[in-house]
A and B are shown apart, each in its own frame.
Chain A
Amino acid sequence: MKPGTTSAACVALLRRDLALTWRRRGDALNPLLFAVIVVALFPFALGPEAQVLERIAAGTIFVAVLLAALLSLDSLFRSDLDDGSLEQLVLSPHPLSLLLACKIAIHWLTTALPLIAIAPLLAMLLHLPDSVLPVLLAALALATPLLSLIGAICVALTVALRRSGMLLTLLVLPLIVPVLIFGAGACNAAQAGLPYAAPLLWLGAWLVLALVLAPLATAAALKISLT
């Protein structure tokens, strides 16, 4: 009897989660809508002057995207827990961290990548200078996977709770502060004409670190939550 290879398990998981996202494609729009609404509220609160909006544009977009990604984090393991798939994942003979890394990757692809894709639209709404847009996209491309990876650990810790929404936010918030500082900081530096490579490189370094460590931590947290 052969147990099947780990790569086959990962491929099966990726295919299943992609198929599921396609079936639930209506839900995938929610974070996008949320981010657009948050960004659209700012001009109403601050007034429509372009100079004011321009100054807060990068930070606002960053916060809106992080909040939208945070909102969608709760669904990372929720349905798998509810129907028992998560137990089967834990019981499978393959390394749980690898399987979870696949799940996190799919989650990022289906929730965060669309957010990055509409970031130019958000930037336009807030009059972000065109020269800063590439920096914003690069910072988001580095920051959102970090959020997904760090968030996954916190979701794993709270997965067994029925109402984890507020607690999850409390757990993620302090962990995500540096990501926000450096991500938005890079954009602000670019906008002020200062060098912006350093914060982006820092984000990249953390991303590499998180790619290695976060799936392991998520697996450990999940085992604590389920046992």
Chain B
Amino acid sequence: MSAIDPADPPPLLAARALAYARNEEPIFGPLDFSLAAGEVVLIEGDNGSGKTTLLKVLSGLLEPTAGEVLLNGVHLTLAKLSHQVALLGHLPGMKLELTTLQNLRFAVGLGGIRPGITPAIALASVGLAGYEDQPLRLLSAGQKKRVALARLLLVPAALWLLDEPYANLDREGIELVNRLLLMHAQRGGAALITSHGAYAYTSGTPRRIALRATTAEPAGREAGA
């Protein structure tokens, strides 16, 4: 992080001419955008427009075909992954056989913990107090999603990459996600959310990045065809 002007701090996340192709077929891009601390940005696009792939590239899990991802102005690669990014994908990354608390303890062991919070507090703040010793398999899909959200609260990541966080959630759950996002933004975090249109983020008017829906890139249009 050297050679950066302190008066003009780099954005938390920046993508420069970012593109990804599988088998030479473009999935998305080239994309240019940046995300400052305190921002929540929505990525919009139809099914198959590359939203999930984009999040994987931004997390460092996939290597972009072209362009680069900068995290706090530093080039991001899988080789030097940052603990500042937390990815919540389609798959929760949790074990059905283990209890909610066991799952969260593992997440904390792997990713570290934010000061001033414990797995039990995190469970309570997603509305699952009393479920500490329930095996995950006994929970409903929405409740599993809430456990996954509790993981985000625990790990000390400034940037949240959430893939379809509203899926499987009831009204109350959607409000919970919005509340958590607002809280995260207010304490200086940032989040990228994908959604295929059923958009529910209500606090403020977040910036949107459209994938293919409004893009004029001929390559982008061919990809989903």
Contact = CB atoms under 8 A, between A and B. Distances in A.
Does a CB–CB distance below 8 Å link A and B in the complex?
yes
Interface of A: 1-4, 8-9, 11-13, 15-16, 19-20, 23-24, 79, 82-85, 87-94, 223, 226-227
B94 A83 contact: yes
A93 B82 contact: yes
Contact of A12 (B62, B63, B108): B108
Contacts of A88: 87, 93, 107, 110-111
Contacts of B60: 91
Contacts of A226: 61
Contacts of A11: 109
B110 A89 contact: yes
Contacts of B93: 83-85, 87-88
Contact of A1 (B85, B105, B114): B114
B109 A20 contact: no
A87 B109 contact: no
A92 B81 contact: yes
B191 interface: no
Contact of B156 (A3, A9, A12): A3
Interface of B: 59-63, 78, 81-85, 87, 89-98, 102, 105-115, 156, 158
Contacts, number: 103
Contacts of B82: 93
Nearest to A94: B110
Given A16-B95, A87-B87, A4 B113 contact: yes
Contacts of B96: 83
A84 B92 contact: yes
Contacts of B94: 83-85
A223 B98 CA distance: 27
A12 B91 contact: no
B108 A87 contact: no
Contacts of A223: 78
Contact of A91 (B85, B109, B112, B114): B85
Nearest to B98: A19
Nearest to B102: A19
B59 A91 contact: yes
B98 A2 contact: no
A82 B156 CA distance: 25
Nearest to A14: B109
A90 B109 contact: no
Contact of B109 (A1, A12, A23): A12
Nearest to A223: B78
A66 B18 CA distance: 47
A91 B137 CA distance: 25
A79 B96 CA distance: 10
A122 B81 CA distance: 47
A9 B109 contact: yes
B92 A2 contact: no
Contact of B95 (A83, A87, A89): A83
Given A1-B156, A83-B95, A87-B93, 7 more contacts: A4-B111, A20-B98, A82-B91, A84-B89, A85-B93, A92-B111, A93-B83
